Amino acid sequence: MILHIKNMVCDRCIMVVRQQLQNIGLDVGEVNLGAATVQPEPDADQLSLIASQLKLLGFELLDNEKDQMVERIKSLVIEKVHHSDLADSHLNFSQYISDGLNKDYAYLSRMFSDAEDTTIEKFIIQQKIEKVKELLEYGQLNLNEITWKMGYSSSAHLSAQFKATTGLTPSQFKASEKMNRKAIDKI
């Protein structure tokens, strides 16, 4: 059985969820961002226990199809933005999401917007800007390198999107003493 879990956004999340499910006594198969495969199929009492244990750790067990689909969209975006290199991909996110979920993008977009009060496109931009903030904070790459790494067409485009999202230019953000970053699962 596949359990759909909200707020799984990193490798540590996967490790924690795997460990928690094993502690409950389930045989855990594959665990990815947003989903875990377990055997045998949990009964109602076990599902309640799983939900309460995951909630203590900041996760949420998703039981309806719409919430599961929205979480899968988020997981695809987070995986691509935060855990891969966008430099050479010239990625079309709408095609990537549609292919990844075997659903029409217009349908997915409407569902996401209804559930999240934002568009998939804005969610992607917010995720990319958070990744740019991280890269700026590390200080190992200059703006042109970050532009390339994040798949932007130009540093001017990145800077304009950064300022529109944060109210600061990348230089102002980097110079500020308090770099306000958001947790990926809070976007």
As its CATH architecture, domain 2-63 has 2-Layer Sandwich (3.30)
The answer, yes or no, to whether residue 6 has pLDDT greater than 90, is no
d(C-alpha 16, C-alpha 178), whole Å: 29
Cβ count near 176 (within 10 Å): 10
CATH number of 67-175: 1.10.10.60
Q: State the average pLDDT over residues 124-140.
A: 94
State the pLDDT at residue 140: 92
State the pLDDT at residue 139: 87
* Top-confidence range, 59-73, 129-143, 170-184: 129-143
**Mind listing the pLDDT tens digit for each residue in 96-109?**
999 999 999 999 99
Which tokens sit at 12? 């540590």
Q: What is the CA radius of gyration of the chain?
A: 18
- Judge contact between 27 and 39, C-beta under 8 A: yes
Q: What is the enclosing helix (H) or strand (E) of 36?
A: strand 35-39
Higher pLDDT: 119 or 32? It is: 119
- Judge contact between 150 and 157, C-beta under 8 A: no
Task: Report yes or no on whether pTM surpasses 0.95.
Answer: no
Residue at 28: amino acid letter:
V
Q: Can you give the residue ranges of every domain in the chain?
A: 2-63, 67-175
Out of 59-68, 101-110, 112-121, 131-140, least confident range: 59-68
Q: DSSP character for 21?
A: H
- Judge contact between 124 and 93, C-beta under 8 A: yes
C-alpha torsion 14→95→154→165, nearest 10: -60
Confidence of residue 43 (pLDDT cuts 50, 70, 90): confident
State the pLDDT at residue 176: 85
* Top-confidence range, 4-13, 39-48, 90-99, 120-129: 120-129
Out of 7-11, 109-113, 132-136, least confident range: 7-11
